[in-house]
Amino acid sequence: MNIDYKTATEKDIDSLLLMMSEFYKHEQIQFNNEILKSTIIDLIQNPFLGKIWLINVNSQVVGYFVLTYIFSLEYGGRNALLDEIFIKKDFRGKGIGSKTLNFIEQQCKIDNIHVVHLQVKKFNPSAKKLYELNGYREVDRTFMIKLID
């Protein structure tokens, strides 16, 4: 199985939106095609904010991931947030997730990023197990948000 990664371009938006609709349904996140399309374009056009990568197996797109960049004094400067990672159902459990997490770490080293943050839903124990097997751990913090209208 040949796995490779390609930075997404505007030509990939329709493919991304199809995968995102499946991911958002699974994660019980509200999906708004027009807002997401606009947000994807914004991210692709502003790589300083982050990047979207397509996950390919034998030249077939089987998933994607999104890294966005944040800055933290505590963690020594620029950090990455693994905002989304999705692998199509038929390709899960084949080591693609672990290889992708390894690729993410290598990209972060290249970009002088020393910390990757992520969130995992409590009802997704298989994803949590994947992250733990790859060295991610819970920290003594509670992730909180406030939506600003």
User: d(Cα 144, Cα 140) in Å, to the nearest integer?
Assistant: 13
* pLDDT digits 0-9 by tens, 80-131: 999 999 999 999 999 999 999 999 999 999 999 999 999 988 888 888 898 9
Structural domain spans, the chain: 3-133
DSSP letter, residue 61: E
Looking at domain 3-133, its CATH architecture is 3-Layer(aba) Sandwich (3.40)
Region of 68 (left: φ > 0; alpha: ψ -120 to 50; beta: rest) is beta
Amino acid at 91: F
Global pTM? 0.91
Q: What's the whole-number average pLDDT of the chain?
A: 94
Sheet of 3-7, strand order: 3-7, 50-57, 60-72, 77-87, 116-118
